[in-house]
Amino acid sequence: MNLTSYAVQLLSWGMGTGMAAYLPKRVFNTFGFKWSLNPGPWNAKEHALVVVAYWGSCYTAYGLGPLSAMELYYGRKINAGWGILFLITTQMIGYGFAGLFRDILVRPPNIYYPGVLPNVSLFNAMHKNPAVTKKSLKFFTIVACCAFCYEWFPSVIFPMLSSIPLICYFGHGNWKAYVMGSGYNGFGVLDISLDWNYISFFSPLYTPLWANANQFMGAILACWMIYPLLYFTNSLNALNFAPMGSGTWDNTGAKYNISRILKPDFTLDHEAMDAYSSPYWSASYALQFFFGFAASTGAMVYSVLWYGAPAYQGMKDAFRNRRSNYDDPYLKLMEIHPRVPHWWYAILLLICSGLAIGQLYGGEMQLPWWGFIVIAVISCIFTFPNGILWGIANMQVGMQYLSEVIAGALFPGKPLAVLTCMVYGRQILEQNLNLISDYKFGFYMKIPETEMFIGQMYGTLLGPFINYGMMRFIIDSEGPKLTGAVASQAWNAVKTRNYYSLSVIWGVLGPKIFFGHGSIYSWICYGFFLGPILVILTFIVHKWKPHWKIEERFNPTLICYGATVFPVYQTTNLFTSAAFSVFFMGYVYRYHPVWFRKYNYLLGVGLDCGTQLMQTVMVFGLNLPNATFPNWWGNNAMAVDRCFPPGNLPANALN
């Protein structure tokens, strides 16, 4: 569980205001250096740097997934020192690459990072003219308080509100209606959610409508059309497995028992696998990889065709120390401040790379030095297309699919090496873009680049210690629940289980077994070609009819990315989130622009903040003490959404 930056922004605002009012203003002199506990009024820039430092420390490090998966599923507990160093290096190396991209992913005004605008809106409400902020803050406070109070109902008291599967209700026990309508175990067609945790899944009040529309198009096409068609026709033996399962199964439909095919050194025992079973996926999970491969390569082609020329010019100008200000008032204002020198990034990159390689051998992570270099370079290259998508559409494909295939191909039969390689591939890109988007946030808040860099570094150095400490506490206290040995809804460790599944797919088995000759999944690799082909065709139409804006109406990369969201997450996220996006980013934005500019982002921030504060209270007040709300009609013990599994449901549909 992460506390959102909006909640931290709210809490730090109160603390900063109180400290400015009550801390002593006395000036101390220490060896000629004058300082004070209260140097001046609490202002927006100080406040913003607090949030930036929190951004650096709050992200749940990807490295926690492999560390916890190694311990919970492979019985391999990494020494605390090596574990913390692993988290530090995975989170810091990406910052070393950020200097290469700041001129092409930060300076252009059309790359504006919609994801940071809600924070900017809340800062403006807190620190602008008091006559203006009073009304805005009142609106935000009312929304946050209402969200805090209401969220107790879908989360604790009345969980049925989280998922209202209409088709399941109208199906009257028909098993096909159950599979189509259930948002927890099926395709979630027309599944309505009144829980902001699910409604906010696609950031419907922040993400541009054109971007979300393409994403919804892909998700609906996959979940409501393609997946049901494959399932009900039993294509890819779909009826043997859960309709929206993201695991790996054997030929009986049971969960794949990885321990039966592992040698003591965690490598693959081929004879044992032949005697046991080949691994299988649900049809939806297989298609998820297909669309993921298409989105990954499509993103690169899209970014080159639409943004390659200006990016190339920006890089040339940067090396010549000649930069365009794009006639942008933010850039003109920021040019008076010195930039972070390139050698800062170079030194950071060298130090972190050296520590990472030392940690790989000291912690016995199975990943050789050359593997680390290969995945770091590839991750750096794919920063550009993902930065473009994040900067204009508030979403990124990331390295999750490419890093998995590359790691599995380079280190077959070595799950720990694959997990480690995957983490560096994904985290380098992620942290690179985190710093770049923070620079854009700094432009909006008029904070110099150097201060942004230091604030992010400070927060990031704190993060690994906090992350590791929390992981250690949770595993030691709730370990059996995390693996499923003891049933629990509160402690299901979805991400850790997903990492374990990935280690099975790409580490123990490898791409050759899944995609090699004779495999029923060999066709998935064609996704690498589908993405670029669709993007190129779209670009041809764009050049022919540029006024159509085909890249917004039909964006193959975002459509394919939308199709990858499920089955990893529950489909109850889809329908209501799409409806909210259309209403606020479509109708309200177009027909009530004044209200939209004043209150739309504050509404979203208030809902997020109130919900997250409630979730924090719930975790510490109910989940940790193992307290539960009594069962009643709206909180059924068998099915909280009252979508009860029919007796004639396929045997493994709920696995």
Distance CA 13, CA 119 (A): 13
Alpha-carbon distances, residue 307 vs 104, 115, 312, 330, 372 (angstroms): 9, 20, 9, 21, 29
The pLDDT confidence band at residue 223, using thresholds 50, 70 and 90, is very high
Distance CA 365, CA 356 (A): 11
Give 588-646 pLDDT, tens digit per residue: 999 999 999 999 999 999 999 999 999 989 988 887 777 888 999 999 988 999 999 99
Alpha-carbon distances, residue 405 vs 30, 263, 399, 418, 506 (angstroms): 56, 22, 10, 9, 7
Lowest mean pLDDT: which of 246-255, 573-582, 598-607? 246-255
Q: Is the pLDDT of residue 132 over 80?
A: no
Give the strand pairing for 33-36 and 191-192.
unpaired
Contacts of 625 (CB under 8 A, 6+ apart): none
In this structure, what DSSP letter does residue 30 have?
A: E
Distance CA 559, CA 542 (A): 17
Distance CA 647, CA 594 (A): 54
Distance CA 217, CA 533 (A): 19
Select the more confidently predicted residue: 341 or 220: 220
Give 140-181 pLDDT, tens digit per residue: 999 999 999 999 999 999 999 999 999 999 998 899 999 999
Locus of tokens 């159950």: 178
Encoded amino acid at 46, one letter: E
Give 78-123 pLDDT, tens digit per residue: 888 898 999 999 989 999 998 889 889 998 999 999 999 999 999 9
Q: Hey, is 141 helix, strand or coil?
A: helix
The pLDDT confidence band at residue 228, using thresholds 50, 70 and 90, is very high
Locus of tokens 């995975």: 90
Q: What value does the mean pLDDT of the chain take?
A: 89
Consecutive H or E run containing 35:
strand 33-36
Give me the pLDDT at residue 490, please: 60
Dihedral sign, Cα of residue 405, residue 407, residue 412, residue 418:
negative
Strand partners, 33: 30
Give me the pLDDT at residue 620, please: 84
pTM for the model stands at 0.91
644-652: average pLDDT: 90
Q: Which two tokens stand for residue 79?
A: 């020494």
How many C-beta atoms lie closer than 10 Å to residue 546's C-beta? 10
Cα–Cα–Cα angle for 568, 572, 575, rounded to 5 degrees: 115
Give me the pLDDT at residue 211, please: 97
Q: Closest by alpha carbon to 239, among 283, 174, 188, 288?
A: 283
| 3-state helix, strand and coil shares in percent for the chain, rounded to the nearest 5 | 70, 5, 30
Q: Is the pLDDT of residue 201 over 70?
A: yes
Consecutive H or E run containing 28:
strand 27-30
Q: Which two tokens stand for residue 219?
A: 């998700």
Contacts of 586 (CB under 8 A, 6+ apart): 209
Give me the pLDDT at residue 113, please: 95
Beta strands in 182-333 (DSSP E): 191-192
Q: Closest by alpha carbon to 181, among 646, 633, 563?
A: 646
Give me the pLDDT at residue 484, please: 65
Select the more confidently predicted residue: 577 or 130: 577
Consecutive H or E run containing 274:
helix 270-276
Q: Which two tokens stand for residue 131?
A: 């006559």
The pLDDT confidence band at residue 486, using thresholds 50, 70 and 90, is low
The pLDDT confidence band at residue 485, using thresholds 50, 70 and 90, is low
Distance CA 403, CA 423 (A): 8
Select the more confidently predicted residue: 192 or 341: 192
Q: Is the pLDDT of residue 533 over 70?
A: yes
Cα–Cα–Cα angle for 7, 12, 13, rounded to 5 degrees: 100
Give 404-452 pLDDT, tens digit per residue: 899 999 988 788 888 899 999 999 998 999 999 999 999 899 999 999 9
Give 256-299 pLDDT, tens digit per residue: 887 788 787 767 788 998 899 988 999 999 999 999 999 999 99
Asked whether 168 and 174 are in contact (CB, 8 A), the reply is no
Beta strands in 391-541 (DSSP E): none
Contacts of 476 (CB under 8 A, 6+ apart): none
Select the more confidently predicted residue: 578 or 136: 578
The pLDDT confidence band at residue 49, using thresholds 50, 70 and 90, is very high
Give me the pLDDT at residue 497, please: 73
Q: Is the pLDDT of residue 560 over 80?
A: yes
Give me the pLDDT at residue 70, please: 80
Give 355-379 pLDDT, tens digit per residue: 999 999 988 888 999 999 999 999 9
The pLDDT confidence band at residue 492, using thresholds 50, 70 and 90, is low
